[in-house]
Structure 1
């Protein structure tokens, strides 16, 4: 029996070489089928628009269609969980964003996934500032009016969910400005708009770019944005920082894959994303209304995510928010 050991070891070594060869062939042929992109929002929202825009262009460069699958719920966490459970073969990607990989790890200790351990961060795509808005009929005309009223008595602000990125950033705003504003969580921007228009809630804090139709139409009034500088297309709208509230945060979106996805596959996706991001149509969508495309990839993108989580953790601490 002992005389067969060397022969068995030789067979195992041969099998290992064959499997490695097959894997190399598979990687060289990647992709040989459509790729799915999980988006944690229903169709029609800002995140969905950004995801579908890159999916359409990326498919042209990578050689196979990118099929969008909307998996809404839990602030995008459901989509993130599904991606981390997928086979790490490059055929399942996630539209990662501030909520499911930024604020969620900062406020939830019971997430079914770990950031950054369960992710391969491929490329950041776009950043958009948050905006503080009121109804177009509101007597509050400026950010100064808002601050004065908030300091003079309780006000309310809406967000699209307790523990979400927008709530945490608004808690930073409250802390920095010394404001007394009650948080009213909603399940989506639709119900917020209804109550904002009827006066049941005083204000809404959210990424403002999906709201530009209502802002331009006079239904909403944008008081301030959370970017470092004023948005060139809206030079009359001040930043929170220049208004005395030192908060600079953005809602961002990017592409991620499951942990263990082969590096040659990640490299091919990354290169294809770089080509897709040169498309005039992609840039038109991403630059609309003050959003800005990003070029962070790989380790630089991962480092950005870690810094973002740290910023949200500080917001959680400052706002004395409950960590779940």
Structure 2
């Protein structure tokens, strides 16, 4: 009896052993991030812009907050070039293990209209969370007669193509926002692209260029020092730090609205649990009063939200700028 029972059980034990060995082999073959709690080592945050600019400042703020909340360093890796495309492509093509993230700005939605990208800006990424939102600010040299948007339009009509505007690089959000204003006002100016915010601001301060659509973070100290004149902000609401400066829409171009935002993305195929953890952590610290106060000093507000909301914004804005480019009003020289 016992011998028969043992014989009958033998195939069962063999099957159990084989299944156990298969399970172990699959576990051994699984990537490291599937077996360990994330994050278990430092996380790289690619910033596709130069150090010291508005995007870099926000990235370092977010990295500090994430590191404190999750117990691992979040290390900034500045990779500027091609309007932010070089660093963004590197981030998009990294391993989708949660250890390489990319901070993007609103220029991310402009670039597909003017550059041939090496990745799909919608399909090849994992949206994580929007961090901030606010306007660009139009600034001019204090020695110019341009004090308002109406002044700008009148001067441009008097001297078609003779006024010029600076940008921190062709194909970025400042370029797109300026061209949208020129299109709506039906005026012409000459585009002078620079390699970064600092030289664009410096030449506007020097009077070499007439106007510049700057990030608030970069322009605010120069405005307070009297080296630049604030003309208007590009979003639909005024800045808390400069409440006297009107919006473009208030200044004679109703409907004009170009927000400047930052967000966190990762490569396509990131583990959903990692995306959820990042999203929840960022949303949690953005709700803290000190976080919004910090961002307000840089001229933006805390936003947060879901990955789906960020994806919707990217898709919507890519479509908007493609329409402007298709009309022939916006290109990289």
Give the TM-score taking structure 2 as reference length.
Answer: 0.87
Greater RCO between the two (CA within 8 Å, min separation 6)? 1
Give the 5 Å matches for 1:175-190. Answer: 175-190=183-198
- Where do residues 104-123 of structure 1 align in structure 2 (5 Å cutoff)? 104-108=111-115, 110-123=116-129
Over aligned residue pairs, what C-alpha RMSD do you find?
A: 2.4
- Pair 25,144 (structure 1): closer, same or farther in 2 beyond 3 Å: closer
For residues 180 and 198 of structure 2, the distance between their equivalents in structure 1, rounded to whole angstroms, comes to 24
Distance 1:249 1:319, change over 3 A: farther
Q: Deviations over 1:85-137 (max 9, x none)?
A: 211100100002222x31111222x2011111110000000012112110122
TM alignment of 1:165-244, pairs within 5 A: 165-244=173-252
Q: CA deviation at 1:268?
A: 1.5
How many Å separate the matches in 2 of 1:148 and 1:302? Answer: 39
Any idea what the Cα deviations from partners look like across 1:10-69, whole Å, max 9, x if unmatched?
Answer: 968953575359669845511111111111122211101100001001112122111111
Q: Over residues 208-265 of structure 1, what are the superposed CA-to-partner deviations in whole Å (9 max), with x where a residue is unaligned?
A: 3321000111100010111112223322211111222232011211111111111111
Find the counterpart in structure 2 of residue 78 from structure 1.
86
- The question of whether the paired residues in 2 share the 8 Å contact of 1:106 and 1:309 is answered with yes
Structure 1 residues 257 and 290 mapped into 2: Cα distance closer, same or farther (>3 Å)? same
Superposition map of 1:28-107 within 5 A? 29-99=37-107, 101-107=108-114
Does the CA-based 8 Å contact 1:122-1:298 persist in structure 2? Answer: yes
Give 2:319's match in structure 1, choosing from 307, 310, 319.
310
Structure 1 contact 135–203 (Cα < 8 Å) conserved: yes
Deviation at 1:176, TM superposition (A): 0.4
- Unmatched runs of 5 consecutive residues or more in structure 2: 1-13
Answering whether residue 169 of structure 2 is matched by residue 161 of structure 1, we say yes
Q: Displaced runs of 4+ in structure 1, greater than 6 A?
A: none
* Structure label with greater radius of gyration: 2
Unaligned runs of 5+ in 1: 1-6
Cα distance in 2 for partners of 1:15, 1:79 equals 40
**Aligned in 2, Cα 1:114/1:235: closer, same or farther, shift over 3 Å?**
same
The separation in 2 between residues aligned to 1:227 and 1:259, in whole angstroms, is 31
SS of match in other structure, 2:214: strand
Secondary structure in structure 2 of the residue aligned to 1:192: helix
Match of 1:133 in 2: 139
